């Protein structure tokens, strides 16, 4: 039995809590994967996984072994690249997630230079408004915009994004330009929520001392940042959005800024990754590159 391979198989089964999903992810037959786990358990003399008809869970011994396996495999990857200083020697798969607009507008245009410098790296880039499960879905790192939840992940602050209030010229022509917070009672906002059916916050602003939220009207709620921006361009209401996401639309006069003295607070941008003693060098290199790539867009 190849114990290193068996450890990698065990980690994916534990992360995905499923033999079937792990087999699909690793490109292995489910029967072969199951036999490797059983051989590993026999060699260790303990049960690592509790199997039920619905899911797979770590046993107490399995949890201990899982943590040690991650450390051992990370150390091995680090050792393998210890004396490899040339970019061409870096290889392996990277799985990364970030918001849609950040990926399409800022990171993907810069990726050709990175992949040319590191031709051995295979990058899997996920981009959606859904917050992925970093551990369960096997991501090496993710970029998150907004307040962070207590996820147990390591967080590296990258900066902040200034938010502004926007409307389309067509909307302004129909309803006028609001000059004060009181005017918002006669205006509509496009509402955004990751989960439809939940209460939307309304118009947020900072008065110099604390943050406030003002309830407003609006007939449309979306759960996609792309739809949020598109709705504003179509004249369906006011939006509050990071300035970098609408710079082109502002310069082309497709959107105009309104109520500049009543902006929402800046959004923090963070790089998150699993807690590991040693990161694979390809992950470390990508995170450093990503930090530099975003430096011109965050304050």
73-123: pLDDT as tens digits:
877 776 766 666 566 667 888 899 999 888 988 899 999 999 999 998 889
pLDDT the model gives residue 169 = 97
pLDDT the model gives residue 107 = 92
In CATH, the number for domain 87-152+271-294 is: 3.40.190.10
Q: For residue range 34-67, what is the model confidence (pLDDT) as tens digits?
A: 899 999 999 999 999 988 777 788 898 988 888 8
Whole-prediction pTM: 0.72
Is the model more confident about 88 or about 286? 286
223: which 2 tokens?
A: 């759960």
Residues of the chain with CATH 1.10.10.10: 3-80
In CATH, the number for domain 3-80 is: 1.10.10.10
Is the model more confident about 114 or about 278? 114
Residues of the chain with CATH 3.40.190.10: 87-152+271-294, 163-265
Q: What fold does the segment set 163-265 form as a domain?
A: D-Maltodextrin-Binding Protein; domain 2 (3.40.190)
pLDDT the model gives residue 82 = 60
pLDDT category of residue 131 using cuts at 50, 70 and 90: confident
Q: For residue range 192-251, what is the model confidence (pLDDT) as tens digits?
A: 987 776 767 789 998 878 889 998 888 899 988 889 999 999 999 999 999 988 988 999
pLDDT the model gives residue 71 = 79
pLDDT the model gives residue 110 = 93
pLDDT the model gives residue 240 = 96
pLDDT category of residue 162 using cuts at 50, 70 and 90: very high
Cα→Cα distances 295→5, 105, 117, 268, Å: 38, 14, 19, 13
């Amino acid at each position: 039995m190849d114990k290193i391979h068996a450890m990698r198989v065990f980690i994916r089964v534990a992360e995905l809590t499923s033999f079937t999903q792990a087999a699909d992810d690793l490109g292995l037959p489910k029967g072969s994967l199951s036999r490797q786990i059983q051989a590993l358990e026999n060699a260790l003399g303990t049960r690592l996984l509790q199997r039920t008809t619905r899911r797979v869970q770590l046993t107490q011994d399995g949890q201990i072994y899982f943590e040690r396996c991650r450390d051992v495999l990370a150390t091995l990857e680090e050792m393998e690249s210890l004396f490899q200083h040339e970019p061409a020697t870096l290889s392996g798969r990277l799985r990364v997630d970030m918001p849609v607009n950040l990926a399409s507008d800022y990171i993907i245009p810069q990726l050709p230079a990175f992949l040319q410098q590191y031709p051995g790296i295979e990058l899997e880039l996920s981009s959606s408004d859904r917050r992925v499960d970093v551990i369960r879905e096997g991501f090496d790192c993710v970029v998150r915009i907004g307040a962070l939840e207590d996820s147990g992940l390591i967080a590296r602050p990258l900066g902040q994004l200034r938010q502004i209030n926007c409307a389309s010229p067509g909307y302004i022509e129909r309803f006028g330009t609001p000059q004060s917070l009181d005017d918002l009672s006669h205006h509509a906002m496009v509402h955004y929520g990751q989960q439809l059916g939940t209460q939307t916050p309304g118009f947020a602003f900072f008065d110099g001392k604390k943050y406030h939220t003002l309830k407003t009207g609006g007939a449309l709620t979306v759960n996609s940042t792309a739809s949020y921006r598109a709705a504003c361009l179509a004249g369906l209401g006011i939006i509050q959005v990071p300035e970098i996401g609408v710079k082109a639309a502002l310069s082309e006069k497709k959107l105009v800024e309104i109520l500049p003295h009543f902006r929402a607070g800046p959004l923090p941008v963070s790089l998150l990754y699993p807690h590991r003693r040693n990161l694979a060098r390809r992950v470390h290199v990508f995170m450093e590159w990503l930090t530099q790539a975003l430096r011109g867009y965050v304050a």
